[in-house]
Copies of this chain bind each other. A is one copy, B any other.
Amino acid sequence: MHFAFDVIGTVAFAISGVMVAMDKKLDLFGVFIIAFVTAVGGGTLRDVLIGNTPVLWMQDHIYIYIITVTVILSILLRSKIKYVRTSIFLFDSIGIGFYTLLGITKGLSVGLSPVMCIALGTMTACFGGVIRDILCNEIPVIFRKEIYATACISGGISFFLIRELPIDILYAEIFTILIIIGIRLWAVKYHISLPNIYRSFNTME
């Protein structure tokens, strides 16, 4: 089941990478590289930090194949996509939902505490998008106004709460993914952002 999660997250992030890269008019190879880096970046950081090497995408060809097919299909079907910004945001949100959960699971499997698992899950989810944006010269997604890493952390905390309930762990995992995607969609739709820490200073000036 985690494998299915991984495939969905990889595809979602690869699509978001293709879209940002094509929006920047990179050439075919640049598009592929951005898609690849966005898709495997988070998992690579996770594996390097916990010392799980060779990193996951090197142990199984499936990741390179999935990304290649996703890139080709995304480029071919791109003219069908009317709302590029909305689509980037949608696929990116799906990606962080699945990758946060995978990072948490991996953290548990190497014996990390819940706090560390949530940190690892959040980094797994956010890192691909951050390097995509740095390479494409965009403001990194986590620093933009909308709630981003906060969604991952909230989802992570929910996971450790739901897990205590007498339900199958799989439901806890799926619920966690939905919470993360849901918070992100909801925050962007209603322009929710974190409390402004600068207001009080402005008043005092």
Chain A residues within 8 Å of B, Cβ to Cβ = 22, 25-31, 33, 44, 48-51, 53-55, 58, 61, 64, 75, 78-79, 110, 112-113, 115-116, 119-120, 130, 134-135, 137, 139-140, 142-143, 145, 147-150, 193-198, 200-201, 204
Contacts and interface: CB of A to CB of B under 8 A. Distances in A.
Of the listed residues A22, A53, A58, the one surrounded by the most CB atoms of chain B closer than 10 A to its CB is A58
Nearest to A78: B201
A49 B48 contact: yes
Contact of A29 (B75, B142, B196): B142
Contact of A53 (B27, B51, B61, B130): B51
Identify whether the interface residues of A are mostly helix, strand, loop, or mixed. Answer: helix
Given A33-B142, A58-B116, A142-B33, A197 B22 contact: yes
Given A51-B51, A54-B49, A58-B120, A64 B197 contact: no
A148 B33 CA distance: 12
Contacts of A27: 143, 145, 193-194, 196-197
Contacts of A26: 143
